[in-house]
Amino acid sequence: MSPAGNVLAVIRFELRRACSRGRLLWWVVLAGFPILLTLLIISVPKQSGVEPPREMWATILFLLCPMAVSMLGTFLYAAPAVSVELERKSWAYLAVRPHASTAVMLGKYLVAVLWAGSAACAGLTVSLLIARPDDMGALWWAMVRLIGLSCPAYGAAYLLLGTLFYKRAMIACIAYTLLFELAASFIPAIVNKFTIQFRLRGLFLQWAKIDVSSTDGLLLQLLGNSPPWVHVVILAGYTLVLLILAQIVLRWSEFTIADEATT
Amino acid sequence: MIEFENVTKLYGTVIGVNDISLSLPPGAYGLVGPNGSGKSTLLNMITGQLSPTIGRVRIFEESPIQNARLYRRLGYCPSSEGLYSDVSAIHWVTYLQELGGLSQAQARDAAHDALVQTGLKDVMQRPISTYSRGMRQRVKLAQAIAHNPDLLILDEPFSGLDPIGRNQMTMLLKTWLQEGKSLLLATHVLHEIESLTPAFLLMCGGRLLAAGNSNDVHGLLADVPNRITLCSSTPRPLAALLLEQDLGDAFAIHPDRIVVETQNPGRLFALLPELLKTTDCDVTELHSEDESLNALFSSLMKIHRGER
């Protein structure tokens, strides 16, 4: 079997495990999060008699689906991809099989993208059906494309961090999210252009047709004004580079579960 | 089959294995040593999970590091359990065989055959979480033999097994050896190896203390003091007799036995029957620690520590 066949074997195995009761419950929680908030929001304007504008729905759904759900979903699945095998001490079975460690890493990554992406898309679709904003179809398509870029990019970032800091994978990923993606991305300097969040924001404004022509220069620095293809190419490049780096780290690391290694 | 050339493995400043050189042709070998002696490090280097800090490791004349072709010839069963509790044995072993390079159908057939061979035919569809310790050990063995490797490497395969489980595992491994395959078995329980192979490697403190069969090590111990227990109803006269004939260096006298330490056990064994004929002393039982691999191990450990 080729290395690609190995990846397919991992995907089959992981998808079957993803259908366990516990993981399905997590999927429902993730998909239900934007739905619940949408229900709460629509209950408020109806009481005051004011309908929320389309831009508000677009922004809320962007923050919930391509951002929160995609980030959290890939974080839960991709960050511990390597560390969980080491903690469970199942790594030894993989390490002595041809290309298995690479296949497990990539297979789990793809399942993480699929798992988080499907939850985000399900949450988005139901939320839009509940909220029914103007131009709902275009908004749905814009968000689905953003989810399609967000999940692979965040999944690759968490996979690399989880492989690099496998003993503290979750802490490293939380620190990265808080310090880099949430804090640094809002600093109006060159550093924010290196964040995934900045690229997604730029795409969101253009694909969701949010008018920012009247905004001042400082705000534009936070939102970016590059054409969509630039953002897409940079995000795809990020994803590829992060996956290659994770693979290099994996090949250079000597993961061993031998007790003697620590004595 | 296995070649180590001056191999040293360091974990930072801690020595995992220390300057090991050995060359093993195909066959069955026991790797014996106490916990923390470097057995698992040695196995991890054989399976390519660790690379040596100094020296060179060759398995079937190839480097084991990232060597996909070589991995197909190795079957490895680690000491840790590491099983997925939420999947069935057939599912998990099939998955590992697919990762080993077999197609989905081939992997399923190989997994099925291996699980039947290890006596798990009737339970292979059940989740692993429902298995006993012995059944889980057999699942581990099944994943290692399913692809029919040339060399089977087992790290503490008897760990946690009850006597029946140990016997079943021994029978399985004997069957494996009868097929002409090679085996490297690491354990700290010596009689487990004796029942499978006389050839062994003895490790302690990251060093290879001895290699060969028990006869080779007997030769090494020719001039080493041995402790022999003689059960007798006349322990004091017997001790006096042996002392008079200069057959012991030290004696411990108990109501029903004496324990003799001697550097020349062969002379004692040769002269004892004649001495007993000419006196009223009797000996009902004779035990020599030197008669088991266990004694060889402890004796060599004492040599290594400079206690002898």
Q: Please tell me the distance from the alpha carbon of residue A247 to that of residue B160, in angstroms, as a whole number.
A: 36
Question: Strand B151-155 and strand B74-77: pairing?
Answer: parallel
Quick one: CA dihedral B219, B220, B224, B226, positive or negative?
Answer: negative
Q: Report pTM.
A: 0.80
DSSP-assigned states of every residue in A117-150: HHHHHHHHHHHHHHH--TTHHHHHHHHHHHHHHH
Q: Among A237, A254, A256, which Cα is nearest to A245's?
A: A237
Cβ count near B257 (within 10 Å): 20
Cross-chain Cβ contact A1/B38 below 8 Å: no
Is residue A18 less than 8 Å (CB to CB) from chain B? Answer: no
Angle at B29 between CA B65 and CA B228, to 5 degrees: 140
pLDDT at B224: 58
Please list every residue in chain A whose beta carbon sits closer than 8 Å to the beta carbon of residue B74.
96
Report whether A9 contacts B104 (CB < 8 A). Answer: yes
Is residue A186 less than 8 Å (CB to CB) from chain B? Answer: no
Q: Give me the helices (H) in B185-259, please.
A: 190-194, 214-220, 235-244
Please list every residue in chain A whose beta carbon sits closer than 8 Å to the beta carbon of residue B46.
none
Reduced to 3 states (helix: H, G, I; strand: E, B; else coil), residue B64 is coil
CB-side neighbour CA atoms (13 Å) of B156: 17
**For an interface test with A, which of B99, B129, B136, B147 has the most A Cβ atoms less than 10 Å from its Cβ?**
B99
Helix (H) or strand (E) holding B29: strand B28-32
CB-based contacts of A78: which residues, under 8 Å, 6+ apart?
A108, A109, A112, A113, A154, A155, A156, A158, A159, A162
Cβ count near A43 (within 10 Å): 9
Which residue is listed with tokens 């679709």? Answer: A125
Cβ count near A114 (within 10 Å): 18
Between chain A and chain B, how many beta carbons pairs sit less than 8 Å apart? 104
Helix (H) or strand (E) holding A95: helix A91-95
pLDDT at B215: 67
Report whether B168 contacts B177 (CB < 8 A). Answer: no
Please list every residue in chain B whose beta carbon sits closer than 8 Å to the beta carbon of residue A20.
86
Cross-chain Cβ contact A89/B80 below 8 Å: yes
Cβ count near B256 (within 10 Å): 10
Quick one: CA dihedral B48, B53, B58, B59, positive or negative?
Answer: negative
Please list every residue in chain B whose beta carbon sits closer than 8 Å to the beta carbon of residue A88.
82, 84
Q: A158 lies in a domain?
A: yes
**Identity of the amino acid at A98:** P
Domain of residue A143, residue span = 3-256
- Give me the residues of A, 36-75, that contact B with CB < 8 A: none
Which residue is listed with tokens 């998990």? Answer: B92
Q: A186 lies in a domain?
A: yes
Q: How far from each other are the two terminal CA atoms of chain B, in whole angstroms? A: 34
Q: Which two tokens stand for residue A248?
A: 């290099």
Q: A232 lies in a domain?
A: yes
pLDDT at B84: 86
Please list every residue in chain B whose beta carbon sits closer than 8 Å to the beta carbon of residue A105.
none
Give one word for B11, left, alpha or beta, with left for phi > 0 and alpha for psi -120 to 50.
Answer: beta
Q: How far from each other are the two terminal CA atoms of chain A, in whole angstroms? A: 38
> Counting Cβ atoms within 10 Å, is residue A214 exposed (0-12), middle (13-18) or buried (19+)?
exposed
Is residue A225 less than 8 Å (CB to CB) from chain B? Answer: no
Q: A263 lies in a domain?
A: no
Considering only CB atoms, A98 lies closest to which of B72, B103, B104, namely: B72
Shortest alpha-carbon distance between residue B139 and chain A (Å): 12
Q: A106 lies in a domain?
A: yes
Please list every residue in chain A whose beta carbon sits closer than 8 Å to the beta carbon of residue B103.
1, 5
Shortest alpha-carbon distance between residue B192 and chain A (Å): 21
Q: A170 lies in a domain?
A: yes
Give the chain A residue whose CA is nearest to the CA of B81. A89
Q: A262 lies in a domain?
A: no
Please list every residue in chain B whose beta carbon sits closer than 8 Å to the beta carbon of residue A258.
16, 40-41, 44, 50
Q: Which two tokens stand for residue A9?
A: 């074997």
State phi, psi for B216 to the nearest 5 degrees: -60, -40
Is residue A88 less than 8 Å (CB to CB) from chain B? Answer: yes
Q: What is the pLDDT along chain A (263 residues), one digit of tens a residue?
A: 677 888 999 999 999 888 888 889 999 999 999 999 999 988 876 656 667 778 888 999 999 999 999 999 999 999 999 888 888 888 889 888 888 888 999 999 999 999 999 999 999 999 999 988 888 899 999 999 999 999 999 999 999 999 999 888 999 999 999 998 888 878 877 778 888 999 999 899 889 888 766 666 666 666 777 888 999 999 999 999 999 999 999 888 877 654 444 33
Domain count, chain A: 1
Q: Please tell me the distance from the alpha carbon of residue B66 to that of residue B147, in angstroms, as a whole number.
A: 18
State phi, psi for B46 to the nearest 5 degrees: -65, -40
**pLDDT tens-digit series, residues B115-169:** 998 888 889 999 998 988 888 888 998 999 999 899 999 988 877 676 677 777 8
Q: Tell me the β-bridge partners of B31.
A: B186, B201
Cross-chain Cβ contact B78/A262 below 8 Å: no
Please list every residue in chain A whose beta carbon sits closer than 8 Å to the beta carbon of residue B14.
263
Is residue A180 less than 8 Å (CB to CB) from chain B? Answer: no
Shortest alpha-carbon distance between residue B70 and chain A (Å): 9
Cβ count near B255 (within 10 Å): 7
Report whether B243 contacts B251 (CB < 8 A). Answer: yes
Residues of chain B with pLDDT under 70: 160, 162-163, 189-192, 214-225, 287-308
Residues of B within an 8 Å Cβ radius of A: 11, 14, 16, 35-36, 38-41, 44, 47-51, 66, 68-69, 71-72, 74, 76, 78, 80-84, 86-87, 91, 95-96, 98-104, 107, 143
Cross-chain Cβ contact B82/A257 below 8 Å: yes
DSSP-assigned states of every residue in B90-139: HHHHHHHHHHTT--HHHHHHHHHHHHHHTT-TTTTTSBGGG--HHHHHHH
Cross-chain Cβ contact A96/B49 below 8 Å: yes
Q: Which two tokens stand for residue B89?
A: 């044995």
CB-based contacts of A119: which residues, under 8 Å, 6+ apart?
A27, A30, A31, A69, A73
Please list the helix, strand and coil fractions of chain A in percent, rounded to the nearest 5, in that order.
80, 0, 20
Inter-CA distances, B275 with A205, B142, B231, B293, Å = 105, 56, 15, 29
Report whether A15 contacts A111 (CB < 8 A). Answer: yes
Cβ count near B305 (within 10 Å): 10
Cross-chain Cβ contact A258/B91 below 8 Å: no
**For an interface test with A, which of B72, B81, B88, B98 has the most A Cβ atoms less than 10 Å from its Cβ?**
B98
Q: Which two tokens stand for residue A219?
A: 């705000």
Q: A261 lies in a domain?
A: no
